[in-house]
Amino acid sequence: MSNIEQTLSIIKPDAVERNLIDEIKKIFKENNFHIKNSKKIHLTKDEAAEFYKVHQSKPFYSDLCSYLASGPIVVMILEGKNAVMANRKLMGATNPKDAEENTIRKLYGISIDKNSIHGSDSLENAKKEIDFFFKS
């Protein structure tokens, strides 16, 4: 049974700064994701705080929002079979130190904050996150 889903991916400021956009997009394509939509934007801290509000009770929330707003990012809709979980597997663990070989965070992540990429953690959140960036 085909289970085509959409998920949201963000190439974070540390990866954009290091010119990794094309390399990361190539990895998605090689892993059978279709990049349905993509745009480069620069969020304000308030917009980043709105996006990450599920983390508002966490001690790292303020730093996390400042970081996401610290430079340009690329937001993408990825489409593919079981896209939400397939993307999480391809990204690797949140902390690059714990990520498996050949995952995006293992290849490019610098630290738990500068971990190069974000991906939705559930189908429900994927819908919300896609709407956040792409609803007209």
Active site residues: 118
- Closer to ligand CMP by Cβ: residue 2 or 20: 20
Give CA–CA dist 98/43, Å, rounded.
28
- Closer to ligand CMP by Cβ: residue 1 or 67: 67
The interface with ligand CMP within residues 101-120 (CB under 6 A) comprises 112-113, 115, 118
Torsion of CA 41, 29, 4, 13, to 10 degrees: -30
Instruction: Candidates 11, 49, 64, 77: give the one binding ligand CMP (CB under 6 A).
Output: 64
Q: Name the β-bridge partners of 10.
A: 75, 118
CA distances from 125 to 9, 25, 86, 92, 131 (A): 12, 22, 15, 18, 10
The interface with ligand CMP within residues 66-95 (CB under 6 A) comprises 94
Applying CB under 6 A, which residues contact ligand CMP? Answer: 55, 60, 64, 94, 112-113, 115, 118
